[in-house]
């Protein structure tokens, strides 16, 4: 109905339902300072007009319609008028409550940790996916919605103990470091003086002596190569698994590989220092098999930043366990992991007499002296030859053309 057709006040429910919008917003008086507002888009709400302590007229929202009916709006308006009569300004109270809520939100752990993570992303930190995983899995469920000042040492110790209970001792150490950084960031921002994540190392369980990552020796490789060739895994994950084999690269580096790092014509992969464990730039030669596989993959993911994009907006790349998953699905669970391919390559190359320095350079092991600092392309041409031999040897093993034996060693000098 048109507003001009209103015949009585307070406004009847039928009037509230049928009032039509106009080109401009308008208000219709209901009674005792209560008004019914109608916007051009058809949305409707209640407002109370009152004089504040400074004798200035103000509008105060009472609720949207139809959620707040006429009867409920009149009841709320009566309660608000009673507060005003007692010298309370409800609008000012609302504004102060909103400011307090905003200040409280700024100091909620989850909000601060997300801001800290954004700084890590801008710094190009490699382990962003791992950090986010542990935030979501272990940290946020425990303290994510708590105020910084309310988090105790017991809370942080409990997070550490929970991860250690899974025997993930290295992960517990990393999480301890991230918690320290988050609270340090919050202190630096002036959000808290509370530092409950300090001293956690004093009660941490001792990390057991490291064991070699599960890896394969030459007699096991023929069946494995044939199984991997027959894998039904997604192309992105499968290619990543092969790239680990062909280059003996760390799986975390493979996971985060970007197309801008590759020169397929020159068969080279340039890995920036920020992604490397030793924080040194690294050049990895690509055997022909890798170049062919990557050119094929480029047709699928070449428009992405990443060689191996993940699924969904929260996963820019495949997850850190995707490569292990490929090996597990072809029957090698607990027998080979992504990092284990480095042990396999090192063992095989050394057994066949390839120069130890070339092998170490391929694996990006630390080289002593000035050469280790400045020579990014250490033994590059020699490593091209070595890694092409290695890829060919893996093919031959899969084809059954090479008898698994270390009887014929290749002698290679500097």
- Residues 93, 163, single domain; the answer is no
Task: Identify the H or E element spanning 361.
Answer: helix 356-362
Domain boundary among the residues 203, 235, 268 is at 203
The CATH number covering residue 274 comes to 1.10.443.10
- Residues 312, 244, single domain; the answer is yes
The domain containing residue 382 runs over which residues?
A: 218-399
Peptide bond into 208 cis (omega under 30): no
Number of domains comprising the chain? 3
Instruction: Spell 252-262 as b/e; 16+ CB within 10 A means b.
Output: bbbbbbbbebb
Q: What is the pLDDT of residues 135-194, one digit of tens each?
A: 998 999 999 999 999 999 999 999 999 999 988 888 899 999 999 999 999 999 999 999
In angstroms, what CA-CA distances link 281 with 192, 253, 261, 274? 38, 12, 11, 8
What is the C-alpha to C-alpha distance for residues 166 and 181, in angstroms, rounded to an integer? 23
- Residues 287, 329, single domain; the answer is yes
Domain boundary among the residues 203, 226, 253 is at 203
Domain boundary among the residues 172, 203, 234 is at 203
The answer to which of 28-37, 83-92, 277-286 has the lowest mean pLDDT is 277-286
Q: What is the pLDDT of residues 332-386, one digit of tens each?
A: 998 998 889 999 999 999 999 999 999 999 988 755 544 444 454 578 999 999 9
- Residues 274, 385, single domain; the answer is yes
- Residue 21 gets which letter from DSSP? P
- Residues 246, 272, single domain; the answer is yes
- Residue 208 maps to a domain: no
- Residues 173, 259, single domain; the answer is no
Tokens of 257: 């590989």
Q: What is the pLDDT of residues 235-290, one digit of tens each?
A: 999 999 999 999 999 888 999 899 999 999 999 999 888 787 656 788 999 999 99
- Residue 388 maps to a domain: yes
Reported confidence tier of residue 300, pLDDT bands at 50, 70, 90:
very high
Helix and strand counts by DSSP (H, E) for the chain = 17, 7
- Residues 364, 231, single domain; the answer is yes
- Residues 52, 156, single domain; the answer is no
Tokens of 120: 């890590």
- Residue 414 maps to a domain: no
- Residues 265, 343, single domain; the answer is yes
- State the pTM of this model: 0.56
> Residues 245, 248, 253, CA angle at the centre, nearest 5°?
100
**Which residues are catalytic, by number?**
250, 277, 339, 342, 365, 374
- Residue 410 maps to a domain: no
- Residue 209 gets which letter from DSSP? P
- Residues 150, 192, single domain; the answer is yes
- Residue 250 maps to a domain: yes
- Residue 320 maps to a domain: yes
- Residues 197, 239, single domain; the answer is no
The CATH number covering residue 197 comes to 1.10.150.130
- Residues 92, 15, single domain; the answer is yes
């Amino acid at each position: 109905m048109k507003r001009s057709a209103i015949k009585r006040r307070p406004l009847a429910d039928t009037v509230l339902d049928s009032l039509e919008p106009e080109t401009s917003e308008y208000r219709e008086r209901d009674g005792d300072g209560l008004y019914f507002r109608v916007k051009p888009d058809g949305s409707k709400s209640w407002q109370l007009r009152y004089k504040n302590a400074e004798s200035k007229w103000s509008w105060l929202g009472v609720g949207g319609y139809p959620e707040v009916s006429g009867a409920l709006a009149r009841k709320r308006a009566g309660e608000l008028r009673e507060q005003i009569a007692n010298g309370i300004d409800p609008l000012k109270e609302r504004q102060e409550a909103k400011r307090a809520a905003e200040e409280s939100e700024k100091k909620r752990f989850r909000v601060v940790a997300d801001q800290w993570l954004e700084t890590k992303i801008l710094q190009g930190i490699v382990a962003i996916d791992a950090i986010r995983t542990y935030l979501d899995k272990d940290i946020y469920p425990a303290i994510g919605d708590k105020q910084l000042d309310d988090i105790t040492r017991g809370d942080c110790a409990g997070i550490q103990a929970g991860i250690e209970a899974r025997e993930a001792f290295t992960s517990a150490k990393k999480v301890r470091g991230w918690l320290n950084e988050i609270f340090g960031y919050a202190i630096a921002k002036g959000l808290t003086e509370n530092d409950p994540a300090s001293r956690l190392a004093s009660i941490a369980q001792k990390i057991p002596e490291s064991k070699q990552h599960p890896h394969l020796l030459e007699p096991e490789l023929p069946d494995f190569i044939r199984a991997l060739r027959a894998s039904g895994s997604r192309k992105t994950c499968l290619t990543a698994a092969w790239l680990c084999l062909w280059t003996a690269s760390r799986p975390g580096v493979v996971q985060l590989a970007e197309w801008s790092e590759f020169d397929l014509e020159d068969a080279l992969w340039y890995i920036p220092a920020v992604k490397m464990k030793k924080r040194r730039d690294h050049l990895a030669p690509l055997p022909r098999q890798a170049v062919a596989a990557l050119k094929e993959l480029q047709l699928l993911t070449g428009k992405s930043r990443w060689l191996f994009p993940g699924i969904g907006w929260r996963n820019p790349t495949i997850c850190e366990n995707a490569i292990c998953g490929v090996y597990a699905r072809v029957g090698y669970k607990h027998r080979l992991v992504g990092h284990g391919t480095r042990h396999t390559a090192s063992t095989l190359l050394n057994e066949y007499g390839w120069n130890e320095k070339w092998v170490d350079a391929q694996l990006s092991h630390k080289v002593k002296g000035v050469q280790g600092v400045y020579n990014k392309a250490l033994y590059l041409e020699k490593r091209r030859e070595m890694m092409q031999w290695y890829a060919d040897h893996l093919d031959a093993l899969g084809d059954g053309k090479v008898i698994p034996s270390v009887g014929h060693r290749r002698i290679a000098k500097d």
